[in-house]
A and B are shown apart, each in its own frame.
Chain A
């Protein structure tokens, strides 16, 4: 069965370190998304991609970057981790008509 996986599932890091969260999907979807989920804010879009070499900023993109070198992967990099980036991060992908399939999430703690 097709799926979307994220790694690591849990991460503790220190302020100022660079962190990369992996997202891998086997749906063969062109569209991939990164969200963060915080209490009281629901899901907020960080970055998204409509295909290889395409990346776009979402509503909360400051301090984050993505790159898309193949269809399956969209890694999310925190350039210099800040305590405000402590959150749960979800990756999602979609094909036609925008139905999104979500990964299990990565819980990130920045100390």
Chain B
């Protein structure tokens, strides 16, 4: 079945550090990938839609300069949390859908737990 790989699964770093999270579709091509954030006991919040070869589309209230998204190939999107602060600590999840087919579910990575000290 379709697999989305997300790396790393857990990051602990100091305040001010920039952190890059990778999202790969392993057995399908994805022109569009999605980045979500989840706070404890809350629902998934869509942060941005990553578009291959073009700029990402950010949801209202999400700082594009803070959360840099790059979708350089059909199988890889990256989210970089720049100059991370403790309030950026959260669970970040990516998803992707096979762009070659219609009516396909989004498949999710296992998420990245980001802890900023």
The answer to whether A and B interact is no
